[in-house]
Structure 1
Amino acid sequence: MNGIETAPDRDAWRNGFEARVLDGYRAAGCSEPLARALLERAVRGIEDWTVATDGTGWIAVEVTQDNGATVGRIHDLTVPRGREWAEQWCAERGAQRVEVRLTGGPGAFADYPVRGQNRMRAVVERPELPAGLTVRRLTEEECPGWYAREEAGYVADIVRAGALTPEQAKAKSDEDFARHLPQGYRTPGHAFYAMEVGGEVVGTGWVNHGFLPGVTFGFSLEVYEEHRGRGYGRSAMAVGAWATRQGGDEAMMLNVFGGNEVAMRLYDSTGFTVLDEYRSIDL
């Protein structure tokens, strides 16, 4: 198709690919150490990718197993009208869906539904908590209830994003929680908070300091459903900024699943820029 063939020499492609990825992260406001740390994550497994060219641009693809599904991934695409070739290549190898990770806008994948975004915002040196809101650490006795609520919400978010079945989402949840919290409540670098108004808990926060160079990751900044619609969402973002500085970091990163338009609007309004966007379609 269009004279596209497997590239005999990957060096020219890889150098250009890594430079483009770095430029995308720098444009999103990342420091140089953070941009390079994100690049390292972006190129994991690169030796297993198949690289093809038509002489004018590049395509990088792979097929792998993910949560019980055979998944195709398009890692790079600079060949005009090369998407059809990449999708066909994945389908021929049994892929049930095709995923892409994007920086700098959807480009040729605007019709792929958004499944998730990583966002980031720099934090001022001394952020203040909103008046009337107090923050304290979760007690160890509160953690089992918090964990059950977080897990149920995480599974629901994955399913709503449309990428996985409920069974696959539960398996991913179990794997992710075990990886991020191997020691549970006592896992080093993680902090768990209760947000209170008038002595009543209105939400919780879970952050990981030093997740990447200078970055605290907000795994969860949740306002309980019965307290939503009162402006506490913006308060939760302020808590995240405060916690980031408490941990000695300069920027906060978080993830939002596709389909969560309310959260995306909140992050837009509070200055979180998109670092990566994940999209996929079923084949």
Structure 2
Amino acid sequence: MVKLESMGHERYESWLKASVKHYAEEKVQAGNVSAEEAMQVAEREFEQIMPEGLATLDTYLFNVKDEDCDQVVGSLWLKVRDEGKEMFIYGLEINEDARGKGYGKQTMQSLEAFVKQMGIPKISLHVFGYNEVAIKLYRSSGYVATNILMSKVL
């Protein structure tokens, strides 16, 4: 089983750098921005969402750890929104070498327990349309699409 452990400053900087880069790549792959502007857009969005880094109000950054071996297998980034009525998943990343071992599903279960304990009634997220693995994880965890944005490049 996994446990959610608060991310400290020692891991935050490397997480931030990797997460911004990954998000920029996803935005390009999804066709949202050009490769030339992706990093700037990603950096700006992260700054808007987390202006105080780890100290940003109502923001939670966790290391996802395998309890059996005490190894970090991923990360989880959450933010309370809508005056405490919603927890939003900004990022769930399972390390490449740990994928396919059930850590994503276990993380979703640990997340639900954490959010219930806080008394927040709803969890929401965004997933890029091309990310079938993530979509499958979220659907299997009981999430349903509430909005679908579609595009066609001509």
Give the TM-score normalised by the residue count of structure 2. 0.90
Aligned partner letter, 2:3: T
Partner of 2:114: 243
How has the CA–CA distance of structure 1 residues 254 and 231 changed in structure 2, closer, same or farther, with 3 Å as cutoff? same
> What secondary structure, in the 3-state scheme, does the structure 2 residue paired with 1:273 have?
coil
Q: 1:52-86 CA deviation, whole Å, 9 max, x = no partner?
A: xxxxxxxxxxxxxxxxxxxxxxxxxxxxxxxxxxx
Larger radius of gyration: 1
Contact 2:64/2:74 (<8 A) preserved? yes
Query: What's the CA shift for 1:257?
Result: 0.5
How has the CA–CA distance of structure 1 residues 149 and 243 changed in structure 2, closer, same or farther, with 3 Å as cutoff? farther
Unaligned residue ranges in structure 1 (runs of 5+)? 1-131
Q: Does residue 1:195 correspond to 2:33, yes or no?
A: no
Equivalents in 1 of 2:3, 2:107: separation in Å? 11
Contact 2:2/2:107 (<8 A) preserved? no
Contact 1:218/1:240 (<8 A) preserved? no
CA-based RMSD of the aligned residues comes to: 1.5
Partner of 1:138: 7
Query: What's the CA shift for 1:246?
Result: 4.1
Could you list the runs of 4 or more consecutive aligned residues of structure 1 that deviate by over 4 angstroms after TM superposition? none
Equivalents in 1 of 2:8, 2:20: separation in Å? 18
Partner of 2:137: 266
Aligned partner letter, 1:136: E
Equivalents in 1 of 2:25, 2:123: separation in Å? 24
> What secondary structure, in the 3-state scheme, does the structure 2 residue paired with 1:177 have?
helix
Contact 2:3/2:110 (<8 A) preserved? no
Q: 1:135-182 CA deviation, whole Å, 9 max, x = no partner?
A: 210111111011112112111211121232112322221121111011
Query: What's the CA shift for 1:269?
Result: 1.2
Q: Percent identity?
A: 28
Q: Which has the higher helix share?
A: 2
Q: Pick one of 210, 214, 220 that aligns with 2:91.
A: 220
Aligned partner letter, 2:128: F
Partner of 1:30: none
> What secondary structure, in the 3-state scheme, does the structure 1 residue paired with 2:142 have?
coil
Equivalents in 2 of 1:165, 1:146: separation in Å? 23
Equivalents in 2 of 1:237, 1:187: separation in Å? 23
Unaligned residue ranges in structure 2 (runs of 5+)? none
Query: What's the CA shift for 1:249?
Result: 0.9
Q: 1:194-234 CA deviation, whole Å, 9 max, x = no partner?
A: 1111110001111001x125100010121111100101110
> What secondary structure, in the 3-state scheme, does the structure 2 residue paired with 1:275 have?
coil
Q: Does residue 1:185 correspond to 2:66, yes or no?
A: no
Query: What's the CA shift for 1:238?
Result: 1.4
After superposition, residues 27-106 of structure 1 pair within 5 angstroms as none
Query: What's the CA shift for 1:134?
Result: 2.2
Number of residue equivalences: 151
Contact 2:2/2:110 (<8 A) preserved? no
Q: Which has the higher strand share?
A: 1
Aligned partner letter, 1:202: V
